[in-house]
Amino acid sequence: MAEAVVSIVTEGLKPLGDFILQEANFLSGVGEQVELAQTELRLMLGYLKDADAKQGEDEVVRVWVATVRDAAYDLEDVIETFVLKVASKRKGSMTIVLKRFACILREGSYLHKTGSEIEKITTKLSKLRSRMECYDIKAIGSGSEGSSSSVDRQHDQRLTYAHFSERHVVGIEGDVEILATHLMKEEEEQFHRVVSIWGMGGSGKTTLARQVYHHNKVRRHFDSFAWVCVSQQYEGRGVLEEVLIKLTAATKEQREEIERKKRDEIAELLYNLLENMSCLVVLDDVWNTGTWNSIKAGFPVNKRTRSCILLTTRNKEVALHVDENGFLHESRPLNANESWKLFENIAIFGRDDTVVEIYAKKEELGKKMLQHCGGLPLAVIVLAELLARKRTVDEWYKVYKNVDVYIRRGTELEPEYKNQGYKGASWVLALSYDHLPYRLKLCFLYLGHFPEDYEIPVKRLTQLWMAEGLISSTSIDMIEDVSYGCLIELVERCMVQVGKYGSSKKIKTCRLHDLMRDLCLSKGKEENFFDIVNFASTASKAAPIGKVRRRAIYLDEKVDYLAPTRHERDGQLRSLLYFGSLIWKKKMIDKMFNDFKLLRVLKFEEMRFEVKLPSNIGDLVHLRFLSLKNSEMNQLPSSVASLVCLQTLDVRCKDKVLVKIPNVFSKMEQLRHLYMPYKHSVSEKLSLASLSSLQTLVHISNQDSDFKELVQLNNLRKLSVNFEILEEISKAAFFTMNRVQSLCVVSTSMDILKSIVYRCRYVSKLKVMGPIGNLPEDLPTYPNLTKLTLCGTCLEDTQIKILEKLPKLQTLFLGVGAFGAGSRDLVFSSEGFPSLEVLYLNGLSELSYWWVSEGAMPSLCRLYIENWITLVEVPRLQYVSTLKEITIKLMPDTFCSNLQEGGKDFYKIQHVPSVLFESIVAEQWDEAVKKRMQLAQERRKQLNQEKFRVSMYVQKAALQFIDAGVDN
């Protein structure tokens, strides 16, 4: 890992060193020291690969490697701080500035001090290099195995990877049926309110629970469902809230009402709901009895109900504690035949070059290696993925020898699993890690910051990687694309699991399996890569040895200080990521901004501030990433203008807060992603023309910035804009959005909407929110359009004829106000929507009937119908044979009952494997319907009075739904 750190530091120092060397006349002394230091690092690189490999066996080498790593980081900190201080004095030409500043520096001895610090570190590196022979550390060429040379990269690209997915489930079919049967027993014979799955991490508990959760008969048996991952970071109230929100499919207003309730009130609501309805709640990964004690008041375990709990845990005691009379199922390891079947499917099947003799030798080696997996499904898959990349028997034999070596070193399993046949599984995971190129090792370790079971947004993850300097691009490829490619490779190597895919088939969220996270934490600690401070955990934790550069802090609601005392003076921190919500007091924030001057990453989300964000945030001049998303803040300090290194700035504060934004962006030439607040005001026009690298610009309006400046941002990929004045757009007759891939336009002007939509022919994702009236007739000729969202557009129902001709459209969302007051029917013609895979229909109260002709939507996989209370019945969906999943949400009980088994419309959807009904408590439903109908009638009246004017209700509803996650 020191090789990885030193390599990245060396790359990062090159532009800084070039800057200093170019101005050597004015920065005499420093330039020479920087050049010498860079040379020492380059000389060191050839030896670090061997040192990294040996540090696991030799404590002295481990200390040597750690010292080299810290020295490299220290060198980068000193040089970057120096360059930023020089740049901060820039006024006029750089030469004049440096002359002036050099004089100031000489007078203050700052030049001498900086040069001395660099010289001290260089001398240290030189001495460390001279001692390598004593430790038998040798130089290894960049083309050696395990390197990240271009030859290795090309070799990797020629290989194919087998994707881990649910189709690789082996040996649990009978277990699924047993568990499903126990969950679906009739009330008179149902004695098990709780069904528990227990076993070792990685033994398939969650996979088994997921198969049961999505079992077709289970889906039809229960009325409402909730899946909650109960990790160590959850406190009791959070679990109760999440279960209640999911079971009731709570609206935003209902969520806020729940958040205002006391904990005992939430528990009582949930208890009554489970007692009176038929619900299935999955509590995944419950670690200890204390967790259950903190939430048990919300679950009627000891009463006869139609609701059930499906619980997974690593601790048998937890399952018995929850319900000693419940059904307990132990997740068993795979037997030899099952392990081989799973292994063979991934590592061997589908290989064209496999002949009988080679297959026999691979089978012999494979079965020997499988003995070291202990029957753990994840271990089998990781080993199979590793060998799927090896073509020859010799390569398989080499892996076999390495596995055996790793096993002899021992394992790090929980004490209760010792001597139970699991020995060696964790080392298979470590072997997969050791085979990663150095950049991927760093990217993988960075995932350890996130809490257990955390759904990690891929876009956010790649931004963090870039801010830390873990990703670089020397080609014409965008660094974001290179970063996403690193994630893809981690997924293909089965180091990272896919959470959700977006409409464009790109990975939207990812996560770490428990065993992989354990490996990540273990390696992170071993390499001193990051540190975790968990306020929710009572377990004592020794302070890390040496300097820690990155820290994740898991908060709880009782925290009233920044960090434990032993962590308060870590001035060398580069990353500080907070998880959880908290009210931050002035003394806490001031202290943080004063202590951590080298921060590159500050994730400060979900926070509430007693006072405004202090101005000394501008002192964090090294910041590349700053996120205050979903926080409550009323003003962005003007000192933010000093953060000239920022790449990502996210100030999407809670939408009820109006945030004052000063004109602070003009010097942020490295800014790539700017997320403005939902509600904001500006005292003067924002200067954005200099942001030539900007790719993402969200929640901007023509009142914020001159339109001519937006036109100059040639690298924009994602733009969310609210226009109210057509004049500026009309003046820019040349205006096109050739590079924008995702465009969201909000306006109450029909002319503006039409003007922009007509000019954005090359977008792949398009959202239109406002009364456009009619779509462009040539919309089907837009070459890249794959996702379309329409809200408040007031279309005539005949406009569907244009939409269904879009040849590449894969996802269509029709939301509140998409059709005008005069519309009645929604008709999908035969052969319409040829590529559509996902269809959302939400709140279309203007329409009463939906007709689907035979042959329409031949590719549809997922259908969502939500809050469309005027819909009389579903169309004949039996014609859509590709349909795999239907979600019915917030629809009348009669509508839902007609679609369930025995209902008059059941035959239309009986071929669909998964049909999910999500509703709210019956008493609340009547009021919701009445209110919804009243609002719809009022809106119809408004639209009739002024044909294409969108009411504020429509705009608000549309914005809320889009911001809630239709497409981030």
Q: What is the model's pLDDT at position 22? A: 55
Measure the CA–CA gap between 181 and 327, rounded to whole angstroms: 11
477 falls in which pLDDT band (50, 70, 90)? low
Note the pLDDT of residue 737. 66
Given its phi and psi angles, is residue 136 left (phi above 0), alpha (psi -120 to 50 degrees) or beta? left
What type of residue sits at position 246?
K
- Please report which confidence band the pLDDT of residue 412 belongs to, taking 50, 70 and 90 as the band edges: very low
Q: Do strands 224-229 and 279-286 pair parallel, antiparallel, or not at all (unpaired)?
A: parallel
Among the ranges given (160-169, 304-313, 542-551, 832-841), the one the predictor scored with the smallest mean pLDDT: 160-169
Q: What is the SS3 string spanning 280-313?
A: EEEEEEECCHHHHHCCHHHCCCCCCCCCEEEEEE
pLDDT for 473 beyond 70: no
pLDDT of 492 above 90: no
User: In this predicted structure, what is the pLDDT of residue 257?
Assistant: 87
Q: Confidence band (pLDDT; 50, 70, 90) for 651?
A: very high
Same domain, 555 and 493: no
- Which domain covers residue 940, as residue numbers? 929-967
Q: Compute the average pLDDT of residues 953-967.
A: 42
pLDDT of 158 reads: 31
Return the higher-pLDDT residue of 763 and 535.
763
User: What's the mean pLDDT in 878-904?
Assistant: 91
Say what the pLDDT of residue 675 is: 95
Mean pLDDT of 478-498: 85
Q: What is the DSSP-derived secondary structure letter of residue 881?
A: T
Q: Which residues on neighbouring strands pair with residue 197, listed in sequence order?
A: 312, 329
576-592 pLDDT tens trace: 998 887 776 666 676 67
d(CA 457, CA 441): 19
Residue 397's nearest CA partner among 354, 366, 427 is: 366
Q: What is the CATH number of the domain that holds 324?
A: 3.40.50.300
| Rounded distance between C-alpha atoms, residue 210 and residue 562, angstroms | 38
Residue 837 has pLDDT above 70, yes or no: yes
Q: What is the mean pLDDT of residues 31-59?
A: 64
Which tops the pLDDT comparison, 225 or 548? 225
Indicate whether 609 and 648 sit together in one domain.
yes
Mean pLDDT across 75-100: 62
Assess if residue 166 is contained within a domain. no
Q: Is residue 378 part of a domain?
A: yes
Range with top average pLDDT, 113-117, 253-257, 382-386, 814-818: 814-818
- Is 727 part of a structural domain of the chain? no
Q: Give the relative orientation of helices 393-408 and 377-388 as an angle to the nearest 10 degrees.
A: 140
Closest CA to 170 of 351, 373, 326, 311: 373
Say what the pLDDT of residue 132 is: 66
The whole-number pLDDT of residue 518 equals 78
Indicate the burial class of 5 (C-beta count within 10 angstroms; 0-12, 13-18, 19 or more).
buried
Amino acid 427: pLDDT? 58
**Residues 449/530, Cβ–Cβ less than 8 Å:** yes
Query: Do 510 and 557 fall within a single domain?
Result: no
Query: Is 50 exceeded by the pLDDT of residue 749?
Result: yes
Q: Distance from CA of residue 962 to its chain's centroid?
A: 18
Among residues 629, 647, 678, the one where a domain terminates is 678
Rounded to an integer, what distance in angstroms lies between the CA atom of residue 103 and that of residue 105?
A: 5
Last residue of a domain, one of 134, 162, 185: 134
575, β-bridge pairs? 550, 601
- Ramachandran category for residue 337: left, alpha or beta (phi over 0 → left; psi -120 to 50 → alpha): alpha
Residue 766 CA: distances (Å) to CA of 741, 762, 769, 782: 8, 10, 10, 11
pLDDT band at 148 (very low <50, low <70, confident <90, very high): very low
| Residue 117 pLDDT level (bands cut at 50, 70, 90) | confident
**Alpha helical stretches, state H, 573-724:** 586-595, 707-711
Buried b (16+ CB within 10 A) or exposed e, 138-177: eebeeeeebbbeeebeeeeeeeebbebeeebbbbbeebbe
pLDDT value, residue 464: 96
573 and 645: one domain? yes
**Residue 189 DSSP one-character state:** T
Is the distance from CB of 210 to CB of 166 less than 8 angstroms?
yes
Q: Give the model confidence (pLDDT) of 783-794 as tens digits.
A: 889 999 999 999
Which tens digit of pLDDT belongs to each residue from 598-634? 899 999 888 776 556 778 888 898 999 999 998 888 8
511 and 451 within one domain: yes
Q: Region 807-813: what's the mean pLDDT?
A: 94
pLDDT tens-digit readout, 686-703: 898 889 889 999 998 878
State mean pLDDT over 944-950. Answer: 41
Q: Is residue 776 part of a domain?
A: no
Q: Cα separations (Å) of 549 from 58, 117, 530, 756, 795? A: 24, 19, 6, 46, 55
Residue 738: inside a domain = no
Strand partners, 648: 625, 673
Residues 479-510 as b or e (16 or more Cβ within 10 Å = b):
bbebbbebbbbbbbbbbbbbeeebbbeebbbb
Strands (E), 601-661: 601-603, 607-609, 625-627, 648-650, 658-661
Q: What is the CATH number of the domain that holds 415?
A: 1.10.10.10
Angle of helix 377-388 relative to helix 514-526, nearest 10 degrees? 70
Residue 409: both structure tokens together: 């070193």
Tokens describing residue 353 = 């070059």
Single-letter amino acid code for the residue at 583: I
> Which has the higher per-residue pLDDT, 825 or 707?
825
Report yes or no on 98 lying in a domain: yes
**Structural domain ending residue among the three candidates 330, 364, 388:** 330
Domain count, the chain: 6
Segment 416-424 shows an average pLDDT of: 43
* Chain-centroid distance, C-alpha 688: 28
- Tokens 């996560």 found at: 511
CA–CA dist 244, 271 (Å, integer)? 9
Between residues 564 and 683, the one the model is more confident about:
683
**Mean of pLDDT values over 844-870:** 92
Q: CA 463 to CA 667: how far, in whole Å?
A: 20
- What's the mean pLDDT in 914-934? 59
- The pLDDT value recorded for residue 233 is 46
What pLDDT score does 947 carry?
A: 38
> Average model confidence (pLDDT) for the chain?
77
Q: Which residue has the higher pLDDT, 325 or 871?
A: 871
Do residues 519 and 585 both lie within one domain?
Answer: no
Q: Which of 296, 240, 312, 229 is nearest to 270 (CA)?
A: 240
Contact 484, 498 (CB under 8 A): no
Identify the pLDDT of residue 961: 43
pLDDT band at 23 (very low <50, low <70, confident <90, very high): low
529-537 — which CB contacts under 8 Å span 24+ positions? 529/1, 529/442, 529/445, 529/448, 530/445, 530/446, 530/448, 530/449, 530/575, 531/567, 532/448, 532/449, 533/563, 533/564, 533/567, 534/232, 534/233, 535/559, 535/580, 536/232, 536/233, 536/234, 536/235, 537/232
Give CA–CA dist 433/53, Å, rounded: 12
Residue 967 has pLDDT above 60, yes or no: no
In this structure, the answer to whether residues 309 and 348 fall within a common structural domain is no
Structural contact between residues 626 and 69, judged by C-beta atoms closer than 8 angstroms = no
| Pair 268, 343 in one domain | no
Q: 881 and 935 in one domain?
A: no
pLDDT of residue 34: 73
Can you give the pLDDT at residue 732? 54
Nearest to 302 by CA among 281, 326, 328, 273: 326
pTM given for the model = 0.72
Given a contact cutoff of 8 angstroms between Cβ atoms, the answer to whether 599 and 573 are in contact is: yes
In this structure, are 112 and 243 located in the same domain? no
* pLDDT at 510 (0 to 100): 94
Residue 438 amino acid letter: Y
* Strand order across the 224-229 sheet: 224-229, 279-286, 308-313, 194-198, 327-330
Reported confidence tier of residue 966, pLDDT bands at 50, 70, 90: very low
Distances (CA, A) of 343 to 371, 426, 514, 609, 938: 12, 17, 20, 53, 62
Q: 628 and 491, same structural domain?
A: no
> With 60 as the cut, is the pLDDT of residue 484 above it?
yes
421 domain residue, yes or no: yes
The answer on 326 and 192 residing in a single domain is yes
CB–CB of 1/36 below 8 Å? no
Residue type, 936: A
Instruction: Choose the weakest-confidence range: 95-104, 174-183, 634-643, 898-907.
Output: 95-104
Residue partners of 557: CB distance under 8 A and separation at least 6: 235, 580, 581, 582
Is residue 163, in this structure, part of any structural domain at all? Answer: no
